[in-house]
Chain A
Amino acid sequence: MKTKTFFSIKVLTLFSFIFLLNSCTDLDEVFLDEIPGNTVSDPAGSLAAAYDRLGDGTFVDHGAIFAMQEYTTDEAILPTRGSDWGDGGKWRDMHEFTWSSSNAIIVGNWDLLTNGITRCITAIQSAEQSSIPEKKLFSAEAKALLAFYTYTTLDLYGQAPYKDPMDPKATLQILKADTQIDKLITDVEALIPDLADIGTQRTYHGRFTKQAAYGFLATMYLNRAVFKDRYNASSNFNFNEPALSGGGTDMDRVIYYTSLLIDSGKFSLESDYFKNFARDNDNGKELIFAISQKIDYIRNGSNSFAYVCMERNQRTSAANRGTNAACTTPEFYATWDGNHDDPRFEQHYQYADGTWFMNDGTDVSVPATDIVPKSANLPWFHFNRGIQAGLQYGPILLASGSLEMVGNRIKVSPLYMEKSTGTRMNFTPSLTFSDPTKSVFAQNEINQGARVFKYEFDPEGGNGNSNVDIPLFRLGGIYAMRAEAYFRKGNTGSAMDDLNKLRTSRKRESLFGNAAGKALTSLDSQQLYKELGFELYWELQRRPQSIRFGKYDLAGTAKAASQPFRRIFPIPQTVIDQKVFQQNQGYN
């Protein structure tokens, strides 16, 4: 027995030994559909990815940065409309100032912006490690974009993460708005020599050029005082602190950089204001730095800013509709009182045969000769642009799937709300909530609110895609910044000149005799604030403007007066959970 047991143990051992030698694999994971490795050796690809993050949601979707910069202000509100747009209260939070650190918009934007920072770090590494001819240019652009993402993060959250791109073992640093603003300014100023002049080295307004840097530096100087003293109880920010360079004050630097752009001769104001936000704005004369968008069925630009306002029964073609979401507030609408003839307020559309879309009940039909690009011959109906209020008219979609026609023209009819078919589509400038503190509409109230048709609705790629380039720095905004800087320096005359340049360079449509806008004759802080809104509404500038002008904390539609701590947003709870960041004051 013993020998036998021994024998089997021997056999067992032998077998086990052979099994051990018989290891099939070293368990090294094989990558078949990706390129393995820690370093990205594609400078163009990684720079493209860093740019991509500007679009792809971040600065082009109403639910991303827009929601934080606009829905928190008088320019925009997204109330709950019957069954729609409740979405767990995330939209109402923005306007009612009830957000917490787990609000999906706050969490989502943190992720988008910090991903932008990450992509820039990769792009810097990738460029620096390469030996391509564009090494310096790509590296400088990636660094500039890094500054841009970081600046936006600091503006919204007061803190931002950072890692040294050139040190692979770099630890995470936490940047604070009040100190980092100076570093960002000096960093970007140092990059200028390496950046391209717009139009050179195959660049265009979709790239971060020297000119983009000027716009960015002006913006940073304009907001530097707020960054340094965010919680100032009376919003009494010191805008005339000595600047970091060039002598003078912050406002001098704003004037310096904006003047570089204004005087460059490279850009000029569009007489048709709405061309800045049109499908064909890729050759826009005002665009200094914009997010280039295209409908290419691969990357696809976003139609969000146009789609978000349009009612579901407003159809640019039989294959398109709106979504009846956001509108502007009565306060903002009221700032236009007496200015409805400003070319930036509204613009009627004229069809090729001369037909105007009046949208006042007098329309009978419009020609069906405009065809939605790349469609199956779908007639294209053009709505008017700018701020749309009152009763709405337009084409009706028949059960057959076509727009209702009169002869071979598109019939124009009074419109009704799609999800409340008995409710007339009346975009009342007023917002009447049954509980004034809650921006909630019943189903038969979903028509309310004046809509902002500033960005052209691009019908080409369904409702979601667009060819419109989204401006980040535009000459109009540069004038507005310079005006504000002059004003803050006490140079009201120059401020008014710049504002009047904006007002009078724009022309109304020929229906109104191509009349230019009217010039201001006087200017005070209130009027300046209004003027900034006229030029830059819905361009993601309102929150910083309203903080600079001390308007942010005030009560408004469905919003009570708020505490200064709400001037920045909380760090997302998911980030706080990692115990790297401290929560911003007021949010604990």
Chain B
Amino acid sequence: MYFKPSYLNLKSFIFLVLALLTIESGFSKTISLKKSKIENKIEKATLVSIFSKLSQQTDYKFSYGQAVIADNTTYTVNFTGESVTSILSDLSKKANFNYNINGKLVLIQKTAAQKAVNTKAADKIRVKGKIVDENKVPIPGATVIETGTSNSTVTDFDGVFELSVGDGKTIEVSYVGYKTKSLPAQASFMTIQLEPSTAELNEVLVVGYGKQSKKDVTGAVTQLEAANFKQGVNVSVDNLLQGKVAGVRVVNTSGEPGAGVNVTIRGVGSIRSGSTPLFVVDGMPLTNDDVSPSGTNVGFGSSTAKNPLNFLNTSDIESITVLKDASATAIYGARGSNGVVLVTTKKGSKGEGTLTVDSYMGVSTVAHKLDVLNAGEYRSAIKDPAFDHGGNTDWQDVIFRSAITTNNSLSFAKQTETGNYYASMAQMDQEGIIRNSNFKRISGRINAAESFLDNKRLKLKMNLTASQTTDDGVPTSDDGGSNGQLIVHTLMANPTRSVFDANGNYTNFNMNAHYNPAYLLSIFEDQTRTLRVLGNLEASFRIIDGLEYKLNLGIDRSTSERNTTIYPNLTDLNPKGKYVQNNLDSKNSLIEHYLTYSKALDKHKFEVLGGFSYQKFERSGTSFSIDGISAQGAGVKPSINPGFAGTQSGTTGYAQENELQSYFGRLNYSFDNKYLLTASMRADGSTRFGDNNKYGYFPSFALGWNISNENFLKDSQTINNLKLRASWGQTGNQEVPNKQTKASYSLAGPDGYYLYNDLNLVNGVSVSRTANPDLKWEVVTQYNLGLDFNLWNDKFYGTVDYFNKTTTDAILYIPSTPLSQTKFIWTNIDGKIVNKGIEIMLGSKIIDRKDFSWNVDVNGSTLNNKIENLPLSEILTGAISGPGQSGVNANIYKSGYAAGSFYLLEHTGFDQNGANVFKDQNGDGKIDNSDRVIIEGALPTFYYGFNSDMRYKNFTFSFSIIGQTGGYLLNNTGLNALNINNLASDRNVAAGYYESGANPANSPILSTLFLEKSDFIRLNAARIGYNFDLKGLNWINGLTLYVTGNNLITITNYTGFDPLVNTPKATDGNQSIGIDYAAYPTSRTFSFGATLKL
């Protein structure tokens, strides 16, 4: 194994040094002055090199603007024994500049005469001043412009500026994120304080490889600031987006703390597993792969890995930007097709250092208990008296609990004149609402930035976070099979059973697939410990004004160990006990070089970006199991010493790596702030692609028109902003397993045979795939048409986008041609997946007064998904779990229908005996699989969010509502756990099924009986806060007490735990959609907390 990035780093550093030397060579030939003493020398040089030399040889620092840099004339300077003052005095006359020595700082200002502007020097006054922010901290880099001219300057790092302006003229001061201020020029020193802009319009958006002012953005980009995140208890960053961004659907795969989250942006663009957007944290693209192993099936089904984003402490996050259309995402090329989520962590903010302590404590309970028969109802429902065991137990109450969450975080941060830092530590301890399930996280972060060299020529920024998460799982899964898993057993456990028997032991139901859920909890342990460290270093070097070279080095490293134990037990699921250890090691390293050049020429504004990126992903893991472990409580736990007892079995390991090498470029051009153009291109090479298709090319074009800047609207008081955007572009998706393009084999015992008469096992050749040397990325071509508007000073604002996203060359795992090495092959198919929809976001600052403000916004999106020209008759996915359900699939992908449509028998009711009646679709008098119908709606067609934020004096009150319509959920919980059939087999049923008149003799058959509308509307989060006035305590900056609630009220007809659930379970690599696999139920949480700022 060799390590490419380090070789790379060396190479790039050499390159950087070389590049610097080239630039430096102008000076080095002639300058050999000693420090502080200026030696006898007469020479010719440009102003820049003269100042550079002077600053090297003396203590003075020089600050100058574009005009000085632009002056390529060489001037003769006599350094002989002269003081700096006299040199400058002499030079200022020759080169037409003014200078001002301020301590050790020399400010150079080219006089206007140099550019032969038609203003007379005599009419000019020299305005000097300082620009400060709301905290009276100087703002470097603010633009000061003489109104109506192009005569401008930029403040230095002390926020100081100097500008010659016409007498009686006004100057305008502007800085990104602040309201532009215009005021009459004065000869006296002006201290100008800028107010932060709250206007929508002046927002700066984080975009791929940079930032853009919102008015210049041509793509569909939505940015959420911390204040707008989903409130309350959130483990991971993706949850913060729920209900907040049009077109983004955030669905938990289960209610388990730390469980996976399913984020889809603009629908499902892919049939196979892999519709997750690309997450980029502080410029470091993460892999979508899990960073912790999934749990091996020890009898209750295998469980999925935890959410890989759990490592980020949500309170460290400053903003989340969602890039939706191709104009915004194409710069991420082969990973952009599912949208991109840019996560930006906090920086030190201006002003005094801040120390923030936030603590909260929350209590969670199950949001919705299912209505099953209680002991009394059950007794009267059963026909067979043997099913009455004399007890009275609500099994849901037995396994659910009031779970406590505590979260404490501490951060301190500061911005200095040249840099900033932010450091935080946080600890989160969340109990799950099912006993024994827990999530714990300890995390730390340091973000630091500092500037070096003249006028911040070199900026270095480092982000580093490390976290340790510990998950304690319970035996829940999405593939419990006919034996079921914990939730299934809880729901169907006979309510006349008791938890404990007369001897105080857990009651043994003593039947296969009839297990006491409390007993299951007691014999199972599943702990996952994951350590993840993510760090990156960004260097930015200004070569000349406007031209910057940037370097981004990043590393994302994680190790995880999962210990799953089922102790020797009285069930027939591993009665001798079993211990499985799964380890996963992953590393993702990145190096990026890019150049940005920005230039404003009169009304033309250019921004050019060009770069190179190399990323390498390494993954490896091992797994082994021990059968026949020692009894619970006896001996040493196998997770501590696997060798203590039992026999080892099933030892495996793997190691894989893949690389991405990319070149990218982008041009942003705007004319007169009215017409905007963005064009970008990325070439992505991936080791995952076949030899015949190493590089994919992903272009995009976008146009924007700031209509409100046109003359006819310029003075409108109603319309503050009106912008039309149109974009087209292509992005890719390379989420396909590694190693698909080349043939290989391994030797494996399970594929071997007892070849010789000694009956020893000869390992067999195992071929795990059919190679596809033509494999390439999936292409998503997306059109987007958008309109942004702000009316009546943000009293009403909004965005409307129409999108059409078509996936071609879709990567699919399909049956291979006969006699291929394996029965399936990863290949690009000719079919298309089309996602169309409209996204609307409307907002209003209804009230904006000193004592009372109220903002609301609403977002919604429609989605129309269709599969076209699939070269297969159908792809069946969505394997149903439960007795008598093996090989039963609920989802179908078929041309002409939406992705993941349901394929079921149509249940029309019950006959007089309570038997199922299904519709005989083909009229052949027989009900069989050919009578199944396709029902679209695994994806809701409309989903929305509503957010309100109110502040009255010291009180704040905010809430958030989410909802969806037009979709269905296949209630596998009902089919599996709560079928009427259970009444005939000593199990419980859902009250609703019992009352429906169904006959307990009916066998569980997948049909529309279990297909339910997933429409709902939910009060997702609410928060009341109080900010204390602590005028007497000047050492406290603020104290806020708050109460939040999550998942408070849900209105739905869905009979399962939660209509907002999606467990994407793959069948042969293709994902299921819209199936509720009796997942760990969701919780309702109330929390109380305090934020103290010092």
- A interface vs B, CB < 8 Å? 1, 3-5, 7-8, 11-12, 15-16, 18-20, 22-25, 27-38, 40, 42, 44-49, 51-52, 55-56, 80, 82-90, 93, 98, 100, 102-104, 111, 114-115, 117-119, 121-122, 126, 161-163, 172, 199, 202-204, 206-207, 282, 292, 294, 296-299, 312, 318-321, 375-376, 397-401, 418-422, 437, 440, 442-444, 463, 573-578, 580-581
- Residue in B70, B689, B764 whose beta carbon sits within 8 Å of that of A4 in the complex: B70
The interface residues of chain A lying within 8 Å CB-to-CB of B871 are: 577
Given contacts A35-B745, A86-B884, A319-B575, contact A5 B752 (CB under 8 A): no
Ordered by A's residue number, 26 sampled pairs between the chains whose C-beta atoms are within 8 Å are A7-B544, A12-B610, A19-B612, A25-B614, A25-B661, A25-B687, A29-B741, A35-B744, A36-B742, A40-B745, A49-B751, A49-B753, A49-B764, A52-B752, A83-B985, A83-B1003, A85-B884, A87-B884, A87-B888, A199-B757, A298-B749, A312-B511, A401-B575, A444-B984, A577-B872, A580-B817
Question: Does B332 have its Cβ within 8 Å of any Cβ on chain A?
Answer: no
**Chain B CB within 10 Å, residue with most, of A18, A83, A204:** A83
Known: A11-B547, A87-B887. A421 touches B386 (CB 8 A): yes
- Nearest-neighbour CB distance to chain B for A463, whole angstroms, equals 8
CB-CB under 8 A from B986, the residues of chain A are 419, 421
Q: Say if the beta carbon of B44 comes within 8 Å of chain A.
A: no
User: B742 and A25: CB pair below 8 A?
Assistant: no
Closest B residue to A416 using CB positions: B386
Decide if A100 touches B744 in the complex (CB within 8 Å): no
The 8 A CB mask of B754-766 against A (1 = contact, 0 = none) is: 1111110111111
A98 to B930, CA, bound (A): 10
A52-B750, A103-B929, A440-B1003 provided; 20 other pairs, C-beta below 8 A?
A16-B610, A19-B611, A27-B687, A27-B689, A27-B694, A35-B746, A40-B767, A45-B765, A48-B762, A51-B753, A83-B981, A87-B888, A100-B929, A115-B822, A122-B765, A294-B754, A401-B508, A422-B386, A443-B984, A580-B817
Nearest neighbor of B985 in chain A, beta-carbon distance: A419
Write the nearest CB–CB distance from A471 to chain B, whole angstroms.
15
The 9 closest A-B pairs by CB, nearest first: A443-B984, A442-B1001, A49-B764, A86-B884, A399-B508, A298-B749, A161-B818, A401-B570, A51-B753
Q: Is B795 an interface residue (CB 8 A)?
A: no
Given A48-B753, A399-B501: A27 in contact with B661 (beta carbons within 8 A): yes
Query: Chain B: which residue is nearest A45 at the CB level?
Result: B765
Closest B residue, CB atoms, query A44 = B762
Partner pick for A12 among B608, B687, B765, B1003, CB 8 A cutoff: B608
A437 — which chain B residues lie within 8 A by C-beta?
926
Contact B821 A298 (CB under 8 A): no
Chain A residues with CB under 8 Å of B100's CB are: none
Measured CB to CB, the nearest residue on chain B to A463 is B572
Inter-chain contact A421/B756, CB cutoff 8 Å: no
Q: Is B717 in contact with chain A by the CB < 8 A criterion?
A: no
B765 near A206: Cβ-Cβ < 8 Å: no
Evaluate contact between A48 and B744: CB separation under 8 angstroms. Answer: no
Is A46 touching B765 in the complex (CB atoms < 8 A)?
Answer: yes
Chain B residues with CB below 8 A from A98, complex form = 926, 928
Residues of A within 8 A of B387 (CB): 421-422
A375-B646 Cα distance, complex, nearest whole Å = 11
Q: Write out, one digit per residue, whether chain B residues 677-707 have a CB within 8 A of any chain A CB (1) or not (0).
A: 0000000011111000010000000000000
Q: Are A89 and B929 in contact (CB under 8 A)?
A: yes
- State the CA gap A118–B70 with chains docked (Å): 72
Contact between B749 and A299, CB atoms less than 8 A apart: yes
Residue B815 at the chain A interface, CB threshold 8 Å: yes
Chain B residue numbers with a CB within 8 Å of A38 are: 743, 771
Smallest Cβ-Cβ distance to B750: which chain A residue: A299
- CB-based contact A33/B820 at 8 Å: no
Which residues of A are found within 8 Å of B597, using beta-carbon distances? 8, 12
Max chain B CB contacts within 10 Å: which of A3, A52, A93, A119?
A: A52
Q: Is B979 on the interface with A (CB-CB < 8 A)?
A: yes
A31's nearest neighbour on chain B, judged by CB, is B744
> How far, in Å, is B34 (CB) from chain A's closest CB?
32
Closest CB-CB distance, A429 to chain B, in whole Å? 22
Which A residues touch B814, using CB under 8 A? Answer: 574
Contact with A along B791-816 (1 / 0, CB 8 A): 00000000000000000000000110
CA distance A125 to B989 in the complex (A): 58
CA distance A27 to B761 in the complex (A): 38
CB distance from B867 to the nearest CB of A (A): 15
Contact A83 B982 (CB under 8 A): yes
Are A88's CB and B755's CB within 8 A? no
A46 CB to nearest B CB, Å: 4
Enumerate chain B residues within 8 angstroms of A16, measured Cβ to Cβ: 610
| Interchain CB contact under 8 A, B759 and A32 | no
Known: A1-B601, A48-B764. A172 touches B887 (CB 8 A): no
Closest partner residue, chain A, to B543 (CB atom): A11
Contact with A along B1-23 (1 / 0, CB 8 A): 10011001001100100010000
Determine if B886 is an interface residue (Cβ-Cβ < 8 Å): yes
B768 on interface, CB distance cutoff 8 Å = yes
Chain A residue with minimal CB distance to B746?
Answer: A34
B635 CB to closest chain A CB, in angstroms?
14
State in angstroms the CA–CA spacing of A24 and B553 once bound together.
14
Say yes or no: A202-B750 contact (C-beta < 8 A), given A19-B593, A82-B985, A421-B384. no
Chain A proximity mask over B731-744: 1 for CB below 8 Å, otherwise 0: 00000001101111
Q: Is B819 an interface residue (CB 8 A)?
A: yes
Per the bound structure, the CA–CA distance linking A525 and B309 in Å amounts to 72
**Is the CB–CB distance between A31 and B739 below 8 Å?**
yes
Task: Tell me if B381 is interfacial: C-beta within 8 Å of chain A.
Answer: no
The stretch among B161-169, B648-656, B708-716, B1035-1043 that forms the contact with chain A is B648-656
B764, A52: Cβ atoms under 8 Å?
yes
With A83-B1003, A88-B887 in contact, is A422–B384 under 8 Å at CB?
A: yes
Considering only CB atoms, which chain B residue lies closest to A103 in the complex? B929
Q: How far is the CA of A581 from the CA of B771 in the complex (A)?
A: 22
- The answer to whether A419 touches B511 (Cβ under 8 A) is yes
User: Which chain B residue lies CB-closest to A115?
Assistant: B823
Given contacts A88-B887, A90-B887, are A29 and B687 in contact (CB under 8 A)? yes
Confirm or deny: B177 has a beta carbon within 8 angstroms of a beta carbon on chain A.
Answer: no
The answer on a CB contact under 8 Å between A443 and B985 is yes
| Per-residue interface assignment for chain B, residues 894 to 932, with 1 indicating a CB less than 8 Å from any chain A CB and 0 otherwise | 000000000000000000000000000000001011100
Partner pick for A33 among B591, B746, B886, B1004, CB 8 A cutoff:
B746
Contact status B984-A89, CB under 8 Å: no
B984 touches A442 (CB 8 A): yes
Do residues A15 and B610 form an inter-chain contact, with CB atoms below 8 A? Answer: yes
> With A35-B745, A294-B759 given, is the CB distance from A46 to B764 under 8 Å?
yes
Distance in Å: Cβ of A361 to nearest Cβ of chain B: 21
Q: Which residue on chain A has the smallest CB distance to residue B593? A: A19
Do residues A28 and B610 form an inter-chain contact, with CB atoms below 8 A?
A: no
- In the bound assembly, the distance between CA atoms of A87 and B885 in angstroms comes to 4
Q: Is there contact, CB below 8 Å, between B547 and A22?
A: no
- B755 x A48 contact (CB < 8 A): yes
A418 touches B512 (CB 8 A): yes
Cβ A52 vs Cβ B887 within 8 A: no
Q: By the criterion CB–CB under 8 Å, are B873 and A86 in contact?
A: no
Q: Which residues of chain A have C-beta atoms less than 8 A from B556's C-beta?
A: none
| B757/A202 in contact, CB under 8 A | yes
Whole-angstrom CA separation of A37 from B746 in the bound complex: 11
A578 with B815, Cβ < 8 A, contacts A44-B762, A319-B572, A573-B873 known: yes
Whole-angstrom CA separation of A376 from B511 in the bound complex: 21
Task: Knowing A19-B663, A22-B593, A100-B930 are in contact, say whether A52-B753 is a contact too (CB < 8 A).
Answer: yes
- Which of A27, A119, A420 interacts with B985 by CB under 8 Å? A420
Of B386, B512, B687, B1001, most A-chain CB atoms within 10 Å: B512
Residues from chain A with a CB closer than 8 A to the CB of B746 are 33-35
Q: Which residues of A contact B654 (CB under 8 A)?
A: 32-33
Contact with A along B559-577 (1 / 0, CB 8 A): 0000000000110100110
Given contact pairs A88-B929, A319-B572, A45 touches B595 in the complex (Cβ within 8 A): no
| Alpha-carbon separation in the docked complex, A298 to B751 (Å) | 9
